[in-house]
Amino acid sequence: MTITDVNQQFATEKTAQLADRRARRDAAIQRETNKAAWIDQQVAEGRMVQIAPDRYRVTSGWDRGETFTVRRNLLGEVAEVVANHGLDVAEDGTVALYSAVPAWHGLGQIIPGGIDNIDEVLRLGGIDWEVARREVRYSFMLDGEERPTLRTAPGHHVTVREDTGEALGVVGNKYTPIQNRRIFEFLEDLVQQGVVWESAGSLRGGRRVFVSMRVPENIVIDTDGIADEVTLFIAAMNSHDGSSRAETVVTPWRPICANTERFAVRDAVTRWGIRHTAGALDRLEEARRSLGLTLRYGEAWAAEETALTHTALAIDEFHRVIADLWPVEEDANDRTRTIAGRRHDHLDAMFRSEAERLGRTAYAAERSVTDYLDHVAPRRPGKTMTEEIARATALLEGSDDDLKTKAHKRLMLLTRR
């Protein structure tokens, strides 16, 4: 039996990638070549997309969804490719991360084996502060007045870090901050036992924080076949800027950076979200039911995933699944048909790629649909957000959960044919 720990696999591959990038950089300098050609090739082959000047997002492999920055020299040539851990960094250089295992980026406060003291983890993770809610005020001067008047905006408040005074976001009257310490206490109450904390940290100036613990029992998929024993974690993510719900997920990922925090949400086995209101985290029974924190749920989930791994799926069958998930009306216009064709081609290529690793199975099909929705499907950015932020928001808010569930149920029908 093999034990699948995606965190270790990610760290190993990430370390190798960084070493490879350094080697490529040194070789490029020696050859006096421009790395831009390599990046242009990656974009042309669809392995990454440009999302801003000197900023790219990866669309395949372990790094699906990761963003990175390129640094250029005085000649405008790409001198370095910089992976983005996304963690907050204090003025003294301390990175806002606590972890029970070393992180791929080599940063943070590492306590091998982890600790169970909440106050210590809050301190080590750089999240030992609280959030206050303050009225939004603005200055305005009417014609004829000599000086502006300070006014209050009804129904609007700003969330503020009490340790730095930094404004995090603007929220409404009903918004009640969920304090960082309360998240730890909620997870302890959720599992009804003492907890050894796996990771905790802060992103985007404290606008988003995360904490994780390990699920006591692993899940085994395909016992008689590939026999993958999957290590699962319970991770809680909380925003302090009003941009998203507080969310708890059961996931294979241990968050230790912006990428793995995003992966934890992307690959969640199950999730429970709650809006920031008074008493929001008191609904423990609802959370337990939604997260399925029972051995019975784990066994049921493993059985379904195992059934998918044993179900052969031909290419034309996968095409019918695509058609069921994204039906196109007979009288659809050319633009709609063009979009559907592009989606079909993307999914077809992704399924063929997954099949090389997992075989042409319903499980490979499910992974293809999920990865397409998370990292390839076009997102229409709003007036105040880029496509990258729109995609991240869709992940965090579970915008595609219904479609993912429909895909799972559709594929499960094939296991009974």
Mean pLDDT lowest for which of 181-195, 309-323, 372-386?
Answer: 372-386
Mean pLDDT over residues 177-193, rounded? 86
The first and second tokens of residue 280, run together, are: 């929001």
In this prediction, residue 295 carries a pLDDT of: 44
Task: List C-alpha distances in Å: 70 to 53, 80, 89, 126.
Answer: 9, 6, 20, 28
* Residues in the chain, overall count: 417
Task: List C-alpha distances in Å: 402 to 325, 344, 373, 399.
Answer: 11, 19, 11, 8
Domain ranges of the chain: 2-83, 97-129+177-292, 132-171, 311-414
Q: How confident is the model at residue 32 (pLDDT cuts 50, 70, 90)?
A: very low
Give yes or no for residue 121 having a pLDDT over 60.
yes
Q: How confident is the model at residue 385 (pLDDT cuts 50, 70, 90)?
A: very low
Q: How confident is the model at residue 1 (pLDDT cuts 50, 70, 90)?
A: very low
What type of residue sits at position 382? G
In this prediction, residue 256 carries a pLDDT of: 60
pLDDT in tens, 253-264: 666 666 555 566
Mean pLDDT over residues 345-373, rounded? 86
Give the whole-angstrom CA distance, residue 208 versus residue 87: 10
pLDDT in tens, 57-95: 777 654 555 666 776 666 666 666 655 567 788 888 888
Place of tokens 């980026």: 105
Mean pLDDT over residues 244-256, rounded? 75
In this prediction, residue 253 carries a pLDDT of: 66
In this prediction, residue 30 carries a pLDDT of: 41
Q: How confident is the model at residue 415 (pLDDT cuts 50, 70, 90)?
A: confident
Highest mean pLDDT among 45-54, 199-208, 266-275: 199-208
What type of residue sits at position 253? W
Give the whole-angstrom CA distance, residue 336 versus residue 214: 45
What per-residue string of b and e applies to 101-138 under the rule 16 or more CB within 10 Å gives b?
bebbbebbbbbeebeeebeebbebbbbebebeeeeeee
In this prediction, residue 31 carries a pLDDT of: 41
Give the whole-angstrom CA distance, residue 231 versus residue 219: 7
Q: What stretch of H or E contains 27?
A: helix 6-31
> Are 358 and 309 in contact, with CB atoms under 8 Å apart?
yes
Neighbours of 332 (CB within 10 A): 13
Give yes or no for residue 22 having a pLDDT over 80.
no
> Are 218 and 151 in contact, with CB atoms under 8 Å apart?
no
Give yes or no for residue 297 having a pLDDT over 70.
no
35 three-state secondary structure: coil
Mean pLDDT over residues 395-410, rounded? 70
Give the whole-angstrom CA distance, residue 28 versus residue 118: 47
The first and second tokens of residue 348, run together, are: 């077809």
Q: How confident is the model at residue 417 (pLDDT cuts 50, 70, 90)?
A: low
Would you give the DSSP letter of residue 314?
A: -
Residues 6+ apart with CB under 8 A from 144: none
Identify the CA nearest to 380 among candidates 370, 368, 388.
Answer: 388
Give the whole-angstrom CA distance, residue 166 versus residue 134: 12
Average pLDDT of the chain?
76
Task: Please tell me the number of Cα atoms within 13 Å of 255 on its side-chain side.
Answer: 34
In this prediction, residue 166 carries a pLDDT of: 92
Q: How confident is the model at residue 158 (pLDDT cuts 50, 70, 90)?
A: very high
Burial label for 56, CB within 10 Å (0-12, 13-18, 19+), is buried
| SS percent in the chain: helix, strand, coil, step 5 | 40, 25, 35
Q: How confident is the model at residue 123 (pLDDT cuts 50, 70, 90)?
A: very high
Give yes or no for residue 366 having a pLDDT over 60.
yes
Place of tokens 């796996």: 198
Give the whole-angstrom CA distance, residue 122 versus residue 115: 11
| % of the chain beyond a pLDDT of 70 | 67
Mean pLDDT lowest for which of 3-7, 41-45, 301-305, 316-320?
Answer: 3-7
> Are 176 and 232 in contact, with CB atoms under 8 Å apart?
no
Would you give the DSSP letter of residue 93?
A: S
Give yes or no for residue 28 having a pLDDT over 70.
no
Give the whole-angstrom CA distance, residue 57 versus residue 83: 11
Mean pLDDT lowest for which of 3-12, 43-52, 399-408?
Answer: 3-12
